[in-house]
Amino acid sequence: MISQELIIDDIRRNPGSTRVQISERCGVALSTVNHLIYRLIQDQIVGKSKIGHNQYRYFIIDDAISQKPIQDYQKPAIRSYVRIEQFKEDALPMISAFPGRSSAYYANMMGVNLRAMISRLKCLDKFGFIVGWKFNTKNNKKTLYLWYIKGQEPDKKELIKSREENKKPKEVIVDDDPWINEISKSREQRRLERLRDENQQMPIPSYAEFFKRQEGRN
């Protein structure tokens, strides 16, 4: 089995090589090189620079950063790498402290545009740092992602059960305590009691309320 070290060593000795060149030098099938390079890019070990339609030049990111000056074709990938590293340092502690929140929640916390936040979170998801759980909101009109540090996410079945329980209306327990009874009253009940206490004219009930009361008496 071809190891990633073989590909890394070849790219390190020949920075700026294409996949075809790497395949020929290593004596490895192009499909295997494609798979290994994809994994190395996901792990942020290898960077790439586009030179044509579906054609890229590859280099080792750490080597490119340490060398001076950085080659022009490496700069876009290096900038992207640095931005992701900076965002990761800020975002991972926040998600760890407040797991299971939406992209909008984290965007507000960091003062970042929502679209930019979604893009960066998906990037961290792609690199394997976090996990986004997909949920459909009311009437399935929008998709909501809840984010967790990879390896720290809760059991999904328990999470769904908890979300369903939170949707159920909570029963109000009425106690003999006058204070409990008072806070359990609706706004309309309090208004009517206040009018009675002030000896003011009671409001005329609507037709719906009138017939509802009549039905209750029958």
Q: Which CATH architecture has domain 4-68?
A: Orthogonal Bundle (1.10)
What proportion of the chain, given as a percentage, has pLDDT over 90? Answer: 28
Place of tokens 């000896």: 199
Predicted TM-score (pTM) of the model is 0.56
pLDDT in tens, 84-137: 888 999 999 999 999 989 999 999 998 888 888 998 998 899 888 999 888 776
> Domain residue spans in the chain?
4-68, 79-167
Rounded Cα distance between 210 and 218, Å, is: 13
pLDDT band at 44 (very low <50, low <70, confident <90, very high): confident
Fold of the CATH domain 79-167: Arc Repressor Mutant, subunit A (1.10.10)
Q: Match 């800020």 to its residue by tokens.
A: 90
Picking from 73-82, 143-152, 201-210, which range would have the lowest pLDDT averaged per residue? 201-210
